[in-house]
Amino acid sequence: MNPAMQSSADEKADNAVQHRTFSRVSRESLGDEMVYVKHHLPWGGRDNMELVKTHLAEEVALLEQIQISKDFGPRLGKLRLVDYQLESAKIITREVPGEDLYSLFSKGRSQVAVPPFLAGKWLSKLQAIDPGSISFAERASRPPSLVDYCDIRVDRIRQQGYPWPDEPTRRHLMNWLEDSEKEDAADCRVVSHGDYGPGNLIWGNGVLTPIDFASCGLDHRLLDLSYFIHHLELLGMYFPWKRYPVSAWSKAILRGYGMPEANSVRIFRAMMVRHQLSRLNKNLQETSKRLRSKVHNAWIRNQLKTRIIQAIHA
Q: Percentage of the chain with pLDDT > 90?
A: 74
Lowest mean pLDDT, pick from 55-64, 85-94, 138-147, 291-300: 138-147
Residue 198 resides in a domain: yes
Q: How many domains does the chain have?
A: 1
pLDDT at 52: 86
Residue 195 resides in a domain: yes
d(CA 135, CA 138): 10
Residue 27 resides in a domain: no
Q: Average pLDDT for residues 101-111, to the nearest whole number?
A: 80
What is the reported pTM?
0.89
Give 7-42 pLDDT, tens digit per residue: 333 333 433 333 455 778 999 999 999 999 999 887
Residue 88 resides in a domain: no
Residue 294 resides in a domain: yes
Residue 272 resides in a domain: yes
Question: For residue 196, what are the domain limits?
Answer: 96-313
What's the pLDDT band for 155 if we cut at 50, 70, 90?
very high
Q: Please check the confidence at residue 196 and state whether its pLDDT lies above 90.
A: yes
Residue 59 resides in a domain: no
pLDDT at 44: 60
| CATH number of the domain within which 290 lies | 3.90.1200.10
Average pLDDT, the chain: 88
